[in-house]
Amino acid sequence: MKKITTIITVLSILLLASCEDFLEVKPSNYAAAETSITNEADAEVAINGLMRKMTSSNYYGRNFVIYGDAKGGDFALRSQGRGLDALYTFNHSATSNSYSGFWSQIYHNILQANNLLANIAKIEEAGNATDDLNEFKGQALTARALMYFDLVRMYGKPYNMDKASFGVPLILEPLDASAQPTRASVEAVYGQIMDDLTAGAPLLSTSAEDGYLNYYANLAIQARVNLFMENYTAALADAEEIINDGPYSLYSNEEWIDSWSNEFGSESILELGIYPDEADLGRGSLGFYLLRLGTVKNAMGWFMASDYWINRMSEDLTDVRWGIMDYDESSTERFGSCRKYAGVDLAGDKGSTSAVNVKLIRLSEIYLIAAESALALPTPDRVKAAGYLNQIRKRSPALAPADETTVTLDMIIDEKSKELFAEGHRYFDMLRLNRTIEFNDEFITPAVVIIHRDKTITRDFYKIILPISQAELDANPAIASQQNPGY
């Protein structure tokens, strides 16, 4: 019967309708790109899409976070060949282990932001602007700034090292497929980041927005950027506005451990939602990468804490933050496995070991930015620095609080390492502060010789930034002469 019906249908289509109609077959699960954002509701879908794309394994979903700790000396490898080794060994070249996924994924995301902004502009031109559209515009601008900030730190030299050197191509609208953009200077990229942030800030909501960017997330990113640009006054002002006016509060020592088993805690200024059947990477998730070999099936024990981090933490064995650490495969005495992304009881924040939110900007970081900025002011405010530091340092009850005489930059940076371990910050701080990074290569067993870098590196080492991949150089001859030096 179905057959006959279909036959009759087709025959009548053929006889009655024109050929062109018969040949017009549209997809059932895609929309035409040109007309897919025409109103507020469409813009909201696009923002959701953008946030989801930020949780890609090539970005905040895994690799970016590991990048920040594996290269910063806080992580160590137990065994060769388990995955993402090259981030630790610096085995990078344009042709192998270029980690071009960072480049391609973030630019893909920037396209989404640019496309949304371009379409919002069209809607505005047609006279249909609304408050909600403004909110989405603010989110898109802030997201774009955040992504450029990450890109320029991975591919360009530190701002305070050589801001005239190559940053990354600065793209603010959707490009034609044939475009061959070239790199802007580090300074120009930072300039655009601040422009986007300041343009986006007034458009954004000041209430907490679980899973999305709001006004305070924008301000927190401004604080970070200002810190990297050594605008300490501005960084302190941004941080203090969040601390004083924002709807956030620090976890108490009792709450701290449990905060990793719950979504959207009181410190979360920006937390990316990782949900089952969405960005959940399963056995390839960030959480799994930090679990001890065999803790759960398929846990391979990729990245463990380095001896240096463990020694730092061992200043106080009663530090509440030990609570998130589990012993690693080297010994039941060595607490090198971090469960921030798996949950203390391996049930994450919503019952899954792998679908666990990424707490991208926490109030603790803001306190430490405030402390560091206060100390770095032209006229250091050591009281403030000690005060902000102590709010975090109290998580080590056995350590004496800092005061205006004892507070040092090292204390703040060490605190940041302890508090924000496995949150992707250490490496960028080390580069910014021009510190030597030492790698715990002795932890690897069987012993191997790392040939792609020395045991210690400084920011003079050419591999502190990634190469532009050969694929990009080949497809975009205009950028070929702008490869990072040394590669």
Partner 1 sequence: MKKLIFIVLSVFLVNAGMAQTQVTGTVTATEDGSPIPYAVVLLKGSRGVGTNTDADGHYSLSNIPSDGVLVFSYVGYKTQEIPVAGRTVINVEMATDALALDEVIVVAYGTSTRGTFTGAASVVKADAIRDVPTLSFENAMGGKIAGMQITTLSGQAGSTSSIRVRGIGSMNASNEPLYVVDGVPVISGNVTQMGIYTSNNVMSTINPNDIESITVLKDAAASSLYGSRAANGVIVITTKQGKQGKPVISFKSSVGLTPSFATDNYETASPEDQVRLYYENFWNAGVYSYGDTYEEASESALYQLNRRFKKHGYIFTAPDNTINSLTISGERAGKYFDWEKELFRTAVYQSYDLSVSGATESSSYYTSFSYTNELGRSVINSFNRITGRINFSQKIGKFIEFTTNVNLSNSGKEGFNDSRSTGNNYFMQSRNLLWPLYWPTDYQTGEPWTSRFGSYAYNPVYYNDQWENSSKTLRLLANETVTVTILPELIFKSILSYDNANTADHLYFSPLHFSGSNVNGSITESNTNINKLVSSTTLNYNKEIASQHNVSILLGWEAERNITDYQRASGTNLPTSALHTVATAGKLDANAYYWGNTMLSMLSRAEYDYNDKYYASASFRRDGSSRLGPETRWGNFWSLAASWRIDQEAFMDNVGVISGLRLRASYGVNGTLPSANYGWRSLTSYTSKYMEEPGGGVSTAADANLSWETSYTYNIALEFGLLDDRIGGTVEFFSRDSKDLLQDVPISMVTGFSSTLKNVGEINNRGIELELYGDIMRRSDFTWTAGLTASHVKSTVTKLYGGQDIIWWDPTGDDNRARFIYREGESTLALYGPEWAGVEDETGKNVWFLNNDETPDLTVDGRPATYDYTNADHVIFGDIHPWLFGGLNTDFNWKGLGLSLNFAYKLGGNTFDFAGKDCNDDGYYWERIMSQWAYDNRWTPENTNSLYPQRVAIDMQDVNQRSSRHMHPADYLRLKSITLGYTIPSDIVSKIKLSGVRLYFNGANLWTLAAHKVYDPEVNEYGTRGWELPIGKTYTFGIEASF
**Interaction with partner 1 in 324-383: which residues (CB under 8 A)?**
352-354
Residue 271 corresponds to which tokens in the numbers above?
A: 């937390």
Instruction: Report CA 161 to chain centroid distance, whole Å.
Output: 22
From start to end of 251-342, where are the E strands?
268-272, 303-305, 325-326, 337-338
Identify the three-state secondary structure at position 70.
Answer: helix
Q: CA-CA distance, 342 to 357, in Å (whole number)?
A: 10
CA-CA distance, 319 to 324, in Å (whole number)? 11
- Retrieve residue 215's tokens: 């006004």
Choices 169-177, 235-243, 244-252, 320-328 (CB under 8 A): range interacting with partner 1: 169-177
CB atoms < 10 A from the CB of 181, how many? Answer: 14
Nearest alpha-carbon partner for 380 in 368, 372, 388: 372
Residues 132-151 close enough to bind partner 1 by CB under 8 A? none
Pick out residues in 250-279 that bind partner 1 (CB under 8 A): 273, 275-278
| Residue from 100, 231, 266, 391 in contact with partner 1 (CB under 8 A) | 100
Q: Kind and range of the H or E element at 181?
A: none
Candidate residues 85, 135, 267, 419; the one interacting with partner 1 per rule CB under 8 A? 85
Least Cα distance to 40 among 104, 119, 154 occurs for 119
Comparing CB distances to partner 1, the nearer of 24 and 254 is 24
CA 466/CA 462 separation, integer angstroms: 9
- Based on the shown chain and the rule CB under 8 A, indicate whether residue 287 belongs to the binding site for partner 1: no
Nearest distance in Å: CB 383, partner 1: 41
Angstrom distances, CA of residue 295 to CA of 334, 339, 344, 443 = 15, 11, 12, 19
Between residue 15 and residue 74, which ones bind partner 1 under the rule CB under 8 A?
19-20, 22-34, 36, 44-53, 55
Give the one residue of 91, 231, 253, 482 binding partner 1; rule: CB under 8 A: 91
Q: Which of 357, 124, 372 is nearest to 226 (CA)?
A: 372
Q: Of the candidates 164, 179, 347, 383, which one interacts with partner 1 according to CB under 8 A? A: 179
Q: Which CB atom, from 52 or from 425, has the smaller least distance to partner 1?
A: 52
For partner 1, the binding residue among 90, 472, 484, 487 (CB under 8 A) is: 472
Whichever of 169 and 424 has its CB closer to partner 1, that residue is: 169
Instruction: Give the residue carrying structure tokens 């191509």.
Output: 169
Residue 93 engages partner 1 in binding (rule: CB under 8 A): yes
Report d(CA 329, CA 437) in Å as an integer. Answer: 24
Q: How far is the CB of 246 from partner 1 (least distance, A)?
A: 22
Q: Which of 223, 407, 420, 444 is the binder for partner 1 (CB under 8 A)?
A: 444
Question: Is 184 near partner 1 (CB under 8 A)?
Answer: no
Number of residues near partner 1 (by CB under 8 A): 91
Nearer to partner 1, 169 or 387 (CB): 169
The correct pick among 176, 333, 345, 460 for binding partner 1 (CB under 8 A) is 176
Nearest to partner 1 of 45, 199 (CB atom): 45
Q: Is the CB of 34 or the CB of 254 nearer to partner 1?
A: 34
